[in-house]
């Protein structure tokens, strides 16, 4: 029973598969179709004689002759065109071959020339090496001669700078030659130059000290001169720090005194209004900038000259040593603490004077009860 059901199921499946699959259409071969693959010339000719009239046969013949001539012409044209392309391609290949051969020749010549240039360069380099070493040697000699000429002319240069009161540049020039003078001190001439320079630099230190102890022109000029005195060691550091603060105090007091007119202007302001005149505000702004910039400059320079730690390197010499010495001075712990205390007192005093001046300038009116 199960076998029968299986057979029925197989038959039904086969039936429905045949219903769903499309039946391919097979094109029948036509032996008289001249464009078909099964064309039969004799059969087509016999059928044409039997079925067509004489006029139809003549017309078909003429059409065939015309088609043959047309196809023959197209074939000839196609052959000619392809032949022309073949000839052009052949010429191009010959030209490329000729060019490639010529290029190989040129490359070979270029390679030979490059080899010659390389050999010439190597030979030239070998010949120039001694000359280059000689040039370097002469260049070193020239630099040395310039340095020696600078040293020889240094006393005259320092004298002119001293006369023109250009003390900073004179110190810098001297600092540049310290190492060289020390190196050639065994030569009498250079030893004499060194002694002359020391005398001139001492005069510079004296002039700078006189300018500091007299009436410095401004706080920046005072800071510059004190820096030179620190570097030239014209005074002990603690004594110099005291004089620095003393002169700076005078200059800051001078700024206060020069601006006392602001208080007189403030007295003219109507107490009934809180608006200050423009000229008073501008004058106060100018005073505040001048005083505070000078105050900050003094504190910064004092800290750099007397309180900042000295550079750790002991190998500094010449200009570097002088610059380092100008920015810091060797002081004992007690002297440094005393210098620090004097700066703190100076700052407190100037702040009190400044705020007292402001208090007198901007006294608010008291309302009457």
Q: For the packed helices 219-232 and 278-302, what is the interaxial angle rounded to 10 degrees? A: 10
Contact 343, 304 (CB under 8 A): no
Contact 171, 201 (CB under 8 A): yes
pLDDT surpassing 60 at residue 359: yes
**Distance from C-alpha of 344 to C-alpha of 287, rounded to nearest angstrom:** 23
Higher pLDDT, 279 or 160: 160
Q: Which helix (H) or strand (E) holds 40?
A: none
User: Which is nearest to 328 in space by CA: 343, 297, 307?
Assistant: 307
**Distance from C-alpha of 166 to C-alpha of 185, rounded to nearest angstrom:** 27
Residue 21 is assigned to a structural domain of this protein: no
Residue 110 is assigned to a structural domain of this protein: no
Residue 64 is assigned to a structural domain of this protein: no
135 shares its domain with 191 = yes
pLDDT surpassing 60 at residue 215: yes
Domain boundary among the residues 159, 191, 214 is at 214
208 shares its domain with 222 = no
DSSP 304: I
**Distance from C-alpha of 255 to C-alpha of 183, rounded to nearest angstrom:** 49
Number of domains in the chain: 2
254 shares its domain with 340 = yes
Average pLDDT, the chain: 76
Domain boundary among the residues 192, 214, 236 is at 214
Domain that holds residue 150: 131-214
173 shares its domain with 251 = no
239 shares its domain with 359 = yes
At 329 the three-state DSSP class reads coil
Contact 174, 156 (CB under 8 A): no
What would the pLDDT profile of 20-30 be if each residue is shown by its tens digit?
A: 545 555 556 67
175 shares its domain with 306 = no
What would the pLDDT profile of 59-93 be if each residue is shown by its tens digit?
A: 888 888 888 888 888 888 888 888 878 888 888 88
User: Quick one: what percent of the chain has pLDDT higher than 90?
Assistant: 2
User: Which is nearest to 314 in space by CA: 303, 325, 305, 304?
Assistant: 325
209 shares its domain with 226 = no
Most confident range, picked from 5-19, 121-135, 307-321:
121-135
Q: Name which of 4-8, 202-206, 352-356 the model is least confident about.
A: 4-8
pLDDT surpassing 60 at residue 190: yes
Question: Residue 345: what pLDDT?
Answer: 92
352 shares its domain with 366 = yes
pLDDT surpassing 80 at residue 267: no
Most confident range, picked from 11-15, 61-65, 144-148, 362-366:
61-65
User: Which is nearest to 238 in space by CA: 334, 308, 325?
Assistant: 334
Domain boundary among the residues 181, 214, 247 is at 214
Q: Which tokens belong to 44?
A: 């087509």
Contact 162, 170 (CB under 8 A): yes
Measured in residues, the chain has a length of 369
**Distance from C-alpha of 268 to C-alpha of 277, rounded to nearest angstrom:** 10
pTM (global) more than 0.85: no
User: Which is nearest to 205 in space by CA: 155, 158, 171?
Assistant: 171
Residue 300 is assigned to a structural domain of this protein: yes
Contact 344, 267 (CB under 8 A): no
| Cβ contacts of 180-184, under 8 Å, gap ≥ 24 | 180/147, 180/151, 181/151, 184/151
Residue 62 is assigned to a structural domain of this protein: no
Distance, C-alpha 359 to centroid of its chain: 51
Contact 204, 162 (CB under 8 A): yes
Residue 91 is assigned to a structural domain of this protein: no
Question: What is the arithmetic mean of pLDDT over 38-56?
Answer: 78
188 shares its domain with 287 = no
Residue 307 is assigned to a structural domain of this protein: yes
For residue 154, the tally of other CB atoms under 10 A from its CB is 22
Question: Residue 363: what pLDDT?
Answer: 60
**Phi and psi at residue 339, to the nearest 5°:** -65, -40
179 shares its domain with 226 = no
Residue 7 is assigned to a structural domain of this protein: no
360 shares its domain with 295 = yes
Buried-exposed string 42-77: b where 16+ CB fall within 10 A, e elsewhere: eeeeeeeeeeeeeeeeeeeeeeeeeeeeeeeeeeee
Q: What Cα–Cα distance (Å) separates residue 6 from each residue in 13, 17, 258?
A: 11, 17, 129
Contact 176, 318 (CB under 8 A): yes
270 shares its domain with 317 = yes
């Amino acid at each position: 029973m199960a076998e029968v059901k299986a057979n029925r199921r197989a038959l039904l499946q086969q039936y429905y598969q045949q219903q769903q699959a499309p039946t391919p259409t097979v094109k029948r071969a036509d032996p008289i179709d001249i464009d078909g693959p099964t064309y039969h010339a004799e059969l087509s000719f016999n059928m044409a004689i039997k079925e067509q009239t004489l006029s139809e046969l003549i017309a078909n013949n003429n059409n065939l002759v015309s088609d043959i001539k047309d196809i023959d012409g197209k074939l000839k044209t196609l052959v000619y065109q392809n032949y022309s392309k073949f000839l052009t391609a052949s010429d191009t290949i010959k030209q490329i071959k000729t060019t490639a051969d010529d290029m190989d020749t040129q490359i070979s010549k270029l390679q030979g020339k490059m080899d010659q240039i390389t050999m010439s360069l190597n030979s030239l380099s070998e010949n120039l090496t001694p000359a280059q070493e000689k040039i370097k040697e002469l260049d070193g000699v020239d630099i040395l001669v310039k340095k020696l000429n600078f040293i020889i002319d240094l006393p005259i240069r320092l004298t002119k700078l001293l006369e023109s009161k250009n003390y900073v540049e004179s110190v810098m020039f001297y600092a540049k030659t310290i190492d060289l003078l020390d190196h050639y001190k065994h030569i009498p001439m250079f030893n004499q130059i060194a002694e002359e320079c020391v005398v001139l630099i001492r005069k510079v230190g004296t002039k700078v000290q006189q300018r500091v102890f007299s009436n410095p022109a401004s706080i920046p000029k005072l800071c510059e001169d004190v820096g030179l005195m620190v570097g030239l060691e014209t005074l002990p550091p603690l004594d110099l720090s005291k004089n620095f603060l003393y002169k700076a105090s005078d200059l800051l007091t001078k700024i206060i005194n020069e601006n006392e007119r602001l208080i007189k202007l403030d007295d003219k302001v109507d107490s009934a209004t809180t608006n200050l005149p423009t000229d008073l505000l501008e004058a106060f702004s100018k005073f505040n900038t001048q005083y505070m910039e000078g105050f900050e400059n003094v504190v910064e320079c004092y800290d750099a000259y007397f309180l900042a730690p000295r550079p750790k390197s002991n190998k500094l010499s010449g200009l570097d040593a002088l610059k380092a010495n100008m920015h810091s001075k060797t002081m004992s712990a007690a002297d440094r603490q005393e210098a620090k205390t004097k700066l703190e007192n100076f700052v407190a005093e100037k702040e009190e004077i400044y705020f007292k001046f402001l208090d007198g300038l901007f006294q608010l009116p008291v309302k009457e009860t």
